[in-house]
Each structure stands twice: as C-alpha cells, then as structure tokens.
Amino acid sequence: MKKINAVSLIVLTSIFIVAFANHSFFNNVGNVYHFTLGNSGFLFSLAISLTSLIALLFILISSKYTTKAVLIFALMISSVTSYFMDEYGVVIDDKMIQNTIETDLGEALDLFSFKLFLYFLFLGLLPSLIIYKINIVYESWAVELKTKLMSAGICLLIMVSSVLTFGDFYASFFREHKPLRFFTNPTYLVYSAGKYTNQVFKVSKSAMIPIGLDARIPVEDTGRKLVVLVVGETARADRFSLNGYERETNPLLKKEDVISFTNFYSCGTSTATSVPCMFSFLTREEYDNTKGSTYTNLLDVLKIANVNILWRDNNSGSKGVTQRVPYEQFNSPSINTICDIECRDEGMLVGLQEYIDEHKTGNIFIVLHQMGNHGPAYYKRYPESHEIFQPVCKTNHLEQCSPNEINNAYDNAIRYTDYFLKKTIDLLKSNSNQFETAMFYVSDHGESLGEHGLYLHGMPYFMAPKVQKHVPAIMWFGHSSQIDKNAIKDKAGRVLSHDNVFHTVLGTMGVESKIYRKNLDFLTDERDES
C-alpha cells in the first residue's frame, strides 16, 4: 500500500466527507442560495471552508497513535449521520443524541434499512478499510509539530479569506440562515455531542432540589379521585377527526363526552425532552435537560400529597420521571399479555382494576405511556384488525412508499389510539360510583410525514414545522366530577401547551401547594386573568 503523510491523509478524508456525506447541507444551502454566476464563488468557498474546518479539527485532535482511529471513527459516524439527514431531513443535535441514547432496541431496529447499510458500507466501512491499510509516514516530533502548525494555519487562512472575500454572503449565512449550519457533517454532530456530554456532566454534579414539600389534599376533600393520564407518542393534532380531520380517525371517542383541546402544543419535538418537560413545573422557555433533572417533578409532588401512583410504560421508558415512584415496563410479553408482532398499548389496561381495588384509601393517579404512532414503522403500531385505511406502507423504508401509503399506516395507528382511549374510559366508567374519575390524554410531540421533505421528528424547536409541535389533547370526566364541562368546552380552542399539564393535574387531583399556579390550570377561570 502506498505511503502517505498524516496531513495529506487528513485532507483527502475531509474532501471525501464534504463531497459524499454532506448532501443535505448543500441541498439546504441551494434552497436558500439558488445557484447563479453571482453567488457561485460563495457556494464554492463554502465547500472549501467546510473542508478546511473538518481538516483543522482532525489535525488538532490527531497524533501518531490516533490519526487512523480519528479518521475511521469520523467516517463511520458521518456515514450514518448522512443517511438520516438525507432520508428524513432530521438534524442531529444534542436532543436527538439524547433521544437516540435513551431509545430501546425495538425502536432502534425500526430505523435500520438496506439503504442505511449501503451508506455505511460505501461512505464508512470501505474508506475506513483503505485508511486502515495505508502506511502513514511520520517524521521526528519536531517536524511533525511544525507540519501540523503550518497545516492548521493554512486551514484557518483559507476560512478567513473566504469570509473576507464573500463577506456579504457570509453575513447572511451566519446571521439570517443559522439553521443551515445544523446540517454540516460531522462538525455539528461533534458540537452537539460535546453539548450533550456537558449537560450530562452538569446533571451528575447537581443535587436534586425537592419541590412542593407542602403539598396536601385538604381534609374536607373526602371524595376519592381516580385519574388516568395517557401520554401519547408521536401523534399530531391534525390527524384527529375530533379536530376536523376529514378521515374518521376517532369513531369511538366521538361517541363519548370528551373535550378536545384543538390548540395544544408540545414542549419539545422528541420524547426525551417532552416527557420530562410536561411533568416539570418549568415552562418550555425555562426548561432544559439540566434544569429539568435538577428538580423533582409532578409525580413527586403527588407522592408527598399521599396520592397512590403507578406508571405503566409500553414505550422506551419514562426518561427519568419515575425514579421515585412505582414503575412497570409493558413492552415485553413477559408482563404484557396482549402482544403479536409487538406488545400492544391496550395490554397496559390488563390488571389495572386489581390495582385499583387493592388501594382502599387515598386518591389514585395512573400514567399510561403509549407506543402510539412511533415511526417509521407505523404499520407495526396497530393490530391487523385495525387496518382500516389501505393500502399501507409495510416497511420502515419510507422512501419506498407513496405518501398515501404512509398516511394510511399513520392514520390506522391513530385509530388504534382511539380504541385504546375508549377502553381506558370504559375502565374509568366502571369505577365512577366509587371515585371522581377523569382521563387526560396528550401526545409528547407530533410527526412529519414527508411535508417539505421532512420525516419523523426531533427538529430543533425553533425551526421545527408545526406538525411536530401541534399535538392532540383530550379530557374526559366521569358523571360524579365537579368540573363544569360546558364551560371548558366553550374555551377548548384557546392556546395551551405542556406547560399546563403539571398544574392542571394538581388541580384535578385536588392538591394544594405553593408550587401550584392556578393561572396555568386550564380547568380554572384564573387562567384568563394572568
């Protein structure tokens, strides 16, 4: 195998990554800066600058003993990142990294495809094998240091020269089109990984701060309450016929006296952010992973008030919410009795009546975390008997399916949620003589189904399309409830969000605490006075 010096290998690898693993970046740039003779120099300089930046990073972190490892790792990770950005239009930021780390094996396998293998083979594995077999020539440490410093200086000079030469273009690129940088591969991934690592380090060093230590249910409030909160997964509000969708996706719920909140928005665009955020007393503007992990949450406040709590999960976990309360994982046939190609959400209802009967005193709060509409394998999210809309996309390779097939599979999963919520309501109805009963359903985030070339979810919140943030939210109250349902229905179209969940649940459960903010409880009239 031909010999080569380290800097030359780094430059060649950087050119390869920019040329073959940055299609999404240049495609998005082209959508903003349409190619003309006037901006052709700027577009070319972007490619040169990105190559120089990647090469500079490699030069700074490589050494005689790490150059090959650094380049091989970069190729491997860039190939996978390129696939997901090209196929689904996603951005790999710190929240996406967190979501990836916290996902379970079943969800991860849904994302694998033959096309991903081809990306990994041709953009990652094969060039890595070439690098592995190449003989790198090293000089003395003094010569190597001089070469690295000169090479780093040249990279910096190229980038500075590009900015100075095309200053007007770069001014708009950095100031007005910040999201374009999110698609650079692997530089933004490296930045996001560092940001996520820093957050994890901060959380590990932080002491837990308890909230709501004064929480109590007044002694005069003697009526027992049974409330079920269903945390939906990847459901978008515009696919619920209760909200005006032309397809009948809620045939069972429309027969129930439910209230659908048509302007409800998520805290994030991924489960890893939205679930802990909706159980936090912090608003979306206040919340981040570090702050959210610093304070105790809604379940802890309910526990202080002596509420009986149970969380059942058919998803990939509670994202840290249930660390101090009873938790049951239902995505395995060993505990979920209703499974076929995967375990079904309705299996979480099995045995709940026995749990309710066992608790003779106190209020009961149950959380059911759905598998819901988690993609891209939407066809797996419902039993075959619920496949009403046809034909459906029967693969996780969404690029192989027509928009109609994707939408049919997704809508079938929504209908299965309709069925699951109806069964939950039936369970509560059977207990309405002993309890004041209520069900609250809200999805964690929405989903892109190919609109504007985007699929799945997880885009940075400020640039995410509405369909990833606008989520369905539904409430049902038993006949013994003291809630004025007609008054709530009259205002069901007001703008609400996950910010309201914490305080609305406390209000529904009758819990008093200084942490409770009545203006964020959307079942009270105080919200209109804030």
Q: What is the 3-state secondary structure (H, E, C) of 72-101?
A: HHHHHHHHHHHHHHHHHCCCCCHHHHHHHH
pLDDT at residue 527 in the model: 38
pLDDT at residue 513 in the model: 97
Cα angle vertex 81, ends 77, 84, to 5°? 150
Closest alpha carbon to 318 in 233, 226, 431, 212: 233
pLDDT at residue 526 in the model: 43
pTM for the complete prediction?
0.86
Q: Judge residue 37's burial from the number of C-beta atoms within 10 Å of its C-beta, 0-12 exposed, 13-18 middle, 19 or more buried.
A: exposed
- Measured CA to CA, the distance from residue 368 to residue 19 in angstroms comes to 46
pLDDT at residue 439 in the model: 97
Give pLDDT tens digits for 228-283: 999 999 999 999 999 999 999 999 999 999 999 999 999 999 999 999 999 999 99
Residue 462's contacts (CB-CB under 8 Å, 6 or more residues apart) are: none
Which of the four pLDDT bands, split at 50, 70 and 90, describes residue 347?
very high
> In the predicted model, what is the mean pLDDT of residues 285-307?
94
How many Cβ atoms are within 10 Å of 147's Cβ, its own excluded? 16
Which of the four pLDDT bands, split at 50, 70 and 90, describes residue 528?
very low
- Measured CA to CA, the distance from residue 21 to residue 96 in angstroms comes to 19
pLDDT at residue 446 in the model: 98
Q: Which residue has the tokens 């790792």?
A: 73
Closest alpha carbon to 216 in 509, 481, 436: 509
What type of residue is 64? Answer: K
Kind plus residue range of the DSSP H or E element containing 43: helix 40-61
| Residue-wise burial string across 494-508, b where 16 or more C-beta atoms lie within 10 A, e elsewhere | eebbbbbbbbbbbbb
Give pLDDT tens digits for 9-55: 999 999 999 999 999 999 999 989 988 888 899 999 999 999 999 99
Percent of the chain with pLDDT over 90: 78
- Give the CA-trace dihedral at 138, 139, 145, 147, to 10 degrees: -80
Rounded mean pLDDT of the chain?
Answer: 93
Statement: residue 530 has pLDDT above 50: no
Q: Which residue has the tokens 């105080």?
A: 526
pLDDT at residue 340 in the model: 94
- Considering Cα of 62, then 68, then 71, then 74, what sign does the dihedral take? negative
pLDDT at residue 205 in the model: 67
Most confidently modeled range among 92-106, 141-155, 304-318: 304-318
| Edge-to-edge order in the sheet of strand 496-497 | 470-471, 264-265, 496-497
Statement: residue 384 has pLDDT above 50: yes
Which pairs with CB-CB distance under 8 Å and at least 24 residues apart come from 27-32? 28/179, 28/180, 28/183, 29/180, 32/177, 32/180
503 in Cβ contact with 521 (< 8 Å) = yes
More confident residue, 241 or 398: 241
pLDDT at residue 525 in the model: 66
Cα angle vertex 81, ends 113, 31, to 5°? 105
- Measured CA to CA, the distance from residue 51 to residue 244 in angstroms comes to 49
Closest alpha carbon to 260 in 80, 48, 476: 476
pLDDT at residue 174 in the model: 85
> In the predicted model, what is the mean pLDDT of residues 424-450?
96
Maximum CA pair distance of the chain?
A: 85
pLDDT at residue 79 in the model: 97
DSSP per-residue codes, 288-320: -HHHHHHB--HHHHHHHTT-EEEEEESSS--TT
> In the predicted model, what is the mean pLDDT of residues 402-415?
97
Separation in Å, CA 13 to CA 58, 127, 184: 10, 9, 15
Percent of the chain with pLDDT over 70: 98
> In the predicted model, what is the mean pLDDT of residues 506-512?
96
- Considering Cα of 112, then 117, then 123, then 128, what sign does the dihedral take? positive
pLDDT at residue 1 in the model: 55
CATH assignment of 227-529, among 3.90.226.10, 3.30.56.10, 3.40.720.10, 3.30.70.120 = 3.40.720.10
> In the predicted model, what is the mean pLDDT of residues 384-397?
94
Residue 352's contacts (CB-CB under 8 Å, 6 or more residues apart) are: 312, 366, 427
Give pLDDT tens digits for 42-81: 999 999 999 999 999 999 999 888 999 999 999 999 999 9
pLDDT at residue 388 in the model: 97
Q: Sketch the domain layout of the chain as residue ranges.
A: 3-204, 227-529
